[in-house]
């Protein structure tokens, strides 16, 4: 085959491949599959902006999904390092859990949780299974020191249904302490 025929065949193949790839990657479809593109389907599981009426994605205008309802951590704070400069040595401060429930917000205070002395902050994530709340506290320490000290970690949780919950605290991946709290009926 002459060179210009080979060139022509190569261009045709590239065009067909490009067209097929464009169709496969096109956005704005109107089907009900589990895609991840913006569309206007009414029952899917995608994770982008759309006008679903029932799904579990975020940033859309659905009214019955689980990104706005249910329990969520709404605030986290921590005390400064308790360096033992007061009357008690820091080694004498036991860990404890304190609970407060007011206006639909559960405040969980992990008293005297041990973390690196030079941390920037403590991040808290949550998982809930039935009536068990697991809080995972992780120190953010870009420049760690060679010491630990006790901190109070305060986590606020909104959206809990009434019931008696077991609360488990994990500090930097290790189980630290657990307790139990009752969320009353709001009535």
> What is the spatial distance between Cα 52 and Cα 66, in angstroms, rounded to a whole number?
13
Reported as a single tens digit per residue, the pLDDT across 3-36 is: 556 656 666 666 655 544 444 444 444 444 444 4
pTM, whole model, 2 decimals? Answer: 0.62
pLDDT value of position 82: 86
d(CA 85, CA 128): 38
pLDDT tens track for 73-106: 999 999 998 877 665 555 667 899 999 999 999 9
Question: What is the DSSP-derived secondary structure letter of residue 109?
Answer: E
pLDDT digits (tens, 9 = 90+) for 35-73: 444 444 444 444 444 444 444 444 444 444 445 568 999
């Amino acid at each position: 085959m002459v060179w210009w025929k080979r060139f022509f065949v190569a261009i045709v193949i590239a065009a067909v491949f490009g067209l097929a790839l464009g169709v496969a990657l096109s956005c704005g479809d109107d089907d009900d599959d589990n895609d991840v593109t913006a569309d206007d389907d009414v029952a899917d599981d995608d994770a982008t902006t759309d006008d679903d009426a029932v799904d579990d994605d975020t940033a859309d205008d659905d009214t019955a999904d689980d990104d706005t309802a249910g329990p969520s951590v709404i605030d986290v704070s921590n005390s400064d390092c308790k360096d033992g400069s007061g009357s008690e040595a820091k080694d004498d401060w036991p860990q404890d859990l304190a609970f407060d429930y007011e206006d639909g917000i559960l405040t969980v205070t992990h008293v005297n949780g041990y973390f690196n002395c030079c941390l920037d902050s403590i991040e808290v994530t949550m998982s809930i299974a039935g009536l068990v709340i697991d809080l995972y506290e992780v120190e953010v320490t870009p420049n760690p020191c060679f010491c630990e000290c006790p901190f109070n970690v305060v986590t606020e949780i909104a959206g809990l249904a009434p019931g008696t919950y077991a609360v488990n605290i994990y500090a930097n991946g290790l189980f630290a302490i657990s307790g139990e709290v009752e969320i009353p009926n709001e009535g």
